Amino acid sequence: MKPDRRSLGAAALVAASLAYPGLVYAGRDWVPPLAFVAAALMMLALRFATLRTEEARLWRTLLAAAAVTVALIAALDAALAVKVYPVALSLAAAAVFGLSLRHPPSVIERIARRMEPDLPPEGQLYCRKVTLVWTVWFVINALVASALALAGRDELWALWTGLLAYAVMGLLFGGEMIVRRRARRPAVA
């Protein structure tokens, strides 16, 4: 089966986002900061233009706010603005996940209902808890990335935003799968 253009474009955007911190670190001495700011703004614009989720309107609002924030910071400190992209994405994700807790169904429940449309009440509660965990994670990630950017620790910022944060997300995802499997096992009498 041949992948469609939209899938390829989405994969390219994810790859560019994943590579961004490493490229910033590797090119910091010879690529002008505003070139990276332009790349970050382009990735935000592409995310904005290609959204196809239920939360698209909210995501678009948050991505537009992120782009404005990056541009305003670039006007004050281009070198710092280069490092705002991962922070902005984490804060946008935290907002989407957190707001879904106030206006159910939660993001995780929406995903779960694709596989299990008749999700029982205990499943809904579990999904709310998982959504809360992800909301807290995205806030923590944004705080760590911000602290490293403000401290001027380029190597640690790149390591965190380009590798360690994704490792933590993988652990969270894998851990949640284990917890979910155990929670769904029938009780042994």
pLDDT tens per residue across span 104-126: 999 999 999 998 899 899 999 99
Q: What would the pLDDT profile of 118-149 be if each residue is shown by its tens digit?
A: 989 999 999 999 999 999 999 999 999 999 99
pLDDT in tens, 15-50: 999 999 999 999 999 999 999 999 999 999 999 888
Residue 59 structure tokens:
């995501």
Q: Compute CA distances 58 → 73, 98, 123, whole Å.
A: 22, 12, 25
Q: What is the pTM of this model?
A: 0.89
Q: 64-97, pLDDT tens digit by residue?
A: 999 999 999 999 999 999 999 999 999 999 999 9
Burial of 185 (0-12, 13-18, 19+ CB in 10 A): exposed
